[in-house]
Copies of this chain bind each other. A is one copy, B any other.
Amino acid sequence: MENKILLVHGSGGRLAHELVERNFVKALANPLLAKLDDSAVFDLSGRLAFTTDSYVVSPIFFPGGDIGKLAVCGTVNDLAMSGAKPLYLSLAFIIEEGLAQSELDQIVASIKKAAKEAGVKVITGDTKVVNRGSADKLFINTAGIGIIPEGVNISGSNAKAGDRIILSGTIGDHGIAVLSQREGLSFSTHLKSDLAPLGKLVTEMLAASSNIHCLRDPTRGGLATTLNELATQSKVGIRIEEEKIPLREEVLGACEMLGLDPLYIANEGKLVAIVPAEDADGVLEATRGNRYGKEAAIIGEVTTKHPGRVVMKTSLGTSRIIDMLAGDPLPRIC
């Protein structure tokens, strides 16, 4: 009989301690985590970044990743988008009674691998188990702490007219890859999620220009929503060109079949950078030099016209207002 996670594993008692010891402390071994005090304690000084996300993606395994890799990369990327070097993560599981131990093992292995690549340490955590039917297999929350190098000042409110907009690669890969696995909807595709930790890419971009104004990863809500957020926060207009946006054939095909717009589909390994015009080529080159930025492109610019609005010049040469996502085509995509 397959081993399953039981309610008692969340009790705080002996079996809970064993679960934590076997699954997390051993697998994610580091001295801070191993102390098992109520908090992890460490020395750190400077300008810090702090962020959190819960991950409820369904299904928990998908082409190109799983909820564990997502929980590391998603939070690492939120730190990186503040210009911070990601350092530490917390890791909190809400497990539905009955989850297979083997699935949990696989997810913890993904977390370990992703944390190693991202250069972060999981130093504190929590495990709760809820009765069957009170959650859907597994939810994970991570919070992260990073440190921002001197001279870096990145915020969604820093975009200036004349700035160029760099997108690090193709859009929609994550959303369509997850969607392809949904029950009752599965379609055949070779597409994988773009899920990746972007900390090193950001470091390399900042080496090309410490004057990057904005960074943001277009996750839920997609590129369209991210650009709208930036336009609103910075009180500027944004103009992009449809033809310049990198897009895979498979994503375009799936979107046409399902009636979705790739501008609104989630990404998990892409970023948007807004940089002064004079630094744009240098930052683009640095982006393309990283494995996660090979298909980067300058897709548009910041304008004084229509502040708070995003306008796209379509392939046909017309202009179209790109609004923020209004409905939700893809619940539980991250």
- Residues of A whose CB lies within 8 Å of any CB of B are 7-8, 10-17, 35-56, 58, 77-79, 81-82, 84, 88, 90-94, 123-126, 128-131, 133-136, 139, 141, 143-146, 148, 155-157, 215-217, 219-221, 225, 229, 233, 264, 266, 323-328, 331-332
Contacts and interface: CB of A to CB of B under 8 A. Distances in A.
B45 A46 contact: yes
A220 B8 contact: no
Contact of A148 (B35, B38, B41, B328): B41
B43 A47 contact: yes
Nearest to A15: B326
A49 B123 CA distance: 10
Copies assembled? 2
A50 B124 contact: yes
Given A220-B12, A328-B11, A42 B50 contact: yes
A51 B78 contact: no
A147 to B, nearest CB: 10
A90 B51 contact: yes
A93 B53 CA distance: 9
A48 B331 CA distance: 37
A213 B125 CA distance: 23
Q: How would you classify the secondary structure of chain A's contact residues: helix, strand, loop or mixed?
A: mixed
A13 B221 contact: yes
B56 A128 contact: yes
Contact of A156 (B8, B37, B53, B220): B37
A81 B38 contact: yes
Contact of A130 (B49, B51, B332): B332
A328 B49 contact: no
A155 B12 contact: no
B217 A13 contact: no
10 contacts: A13-B327, A13-B328, A14-B324, A37-B155, A38-B51, A38-B216, A39-B79, A43-B47, A134-B135, A134-B136
A78 B39 contact: yes
Contacts of A129: 331
B328 A7 contact: yes
Contact of A326 (B14, B133, B326): B14
A72 to B, nearest CB: 14
A316 to B, nearest CB: 26
Return the 8 tightest CB-CB contacts between A and B, nearest first: A12-B220, A13-B325, A143-B143, A11-B328, A12-B221, A45-B45, A52-B90, A39-B49
